[in-house]
Amino acid sequence: MVDQLKTGETSRTDVLTEPRAHGDLAARSASITPWVVIALMAAALAWLAWEKWGPQEQGDIVASAMLTFERQNSLTVFSSRFDVVAESVSTPSVGPLEFDALESRQAMIVPATVEYRLDLSDMDRDEFRWDEASQTLEVELPALTVSTPNLDEAQARYFTDGLYVSRDASVSLSRNNSQIAERRARDFAENPEVMALARTAAREAVRQNLAVPLQVAGYGDVRVNVRFEDE
């Protein structure tokens, strides 16, 4: 009887002890789970922040610069507008005889516009040099291309002198003056002082056209040095 009672008590003790063990484990799990979630969330946020703002391995900066040039192909860097003066003389003649008394003159003052362009389509890797230590990109530019002068003959002013100016003489004088004005405009556009201004504008245009896209692409504050191939 006593043995049976002891056995029964032991049995009841075993039954009651097992649920208490499960209850303790559940309580521990309930207390640990929130901290695990918080830790995982913190790790995820840290990874996202690193991906966005942390140091990143960049691609080929020279290739990126060349891609910027390929998209533009040709870049107008400078434009010059100025007045050109041209003068022509027409003397009527019959065979070897010239009639100086019927000589006519025409002067023309015409606005001219000339553009200076860079052909970027043929540039290759040899024109780009990247210095990792100083974070400097060296760029060598081809020679500037000077456009054919655009004469605004609708705004031209004409001054004609002569006793008699025939229609043919007037047409000939105007045609000659246009040719003279175009040559003089090209000579003016290619003089050293104007070319120096155009080169300065070209260097700055290329510097801006490379520095800003490279910065946006994630390369940081890149220094861009620009020079022409004959410098």
180 class by beta-carbon count within 10 Å (0-12 exposed, 13-18 middle, 19+ buried): middle
| C-alpha–C-alpha distance, residues 154 and 173, integer Å | 16
Per-residue confidence band for 100, with pLDDT thresholds at 50, 70 and 90: low
For the segment 58-77, the average pLDDT, to the nearest whole number, is: 78
For the segment 127-132, the average pLDDT, to the nearest whole number, is: 90
Domain boundaries, the chain: 1-56, 61-228
| C-alpha–C-alpha distance, residues 158 and 206, integer Å | 41
| C-alpha–C-alpha distance, residues 197 and 112, integer Å | 17
What's the pTM? Answer: 0.65
Per-residue confidence band for 53, with pLDDT thresholds at 50, 70 and 90: very low
In DSSP terms, 150 is beta-bridged to: 113
Closest CA to 164 of 99, 95, 68, 78: 99
Which range, 41-50, 96-105, 128-137, has the best average confidence (pLDDT)?
128-137
Q: Strand locations in 55-119, DSSP E?
A: 74-90, 93-94, 97-98, 104-119
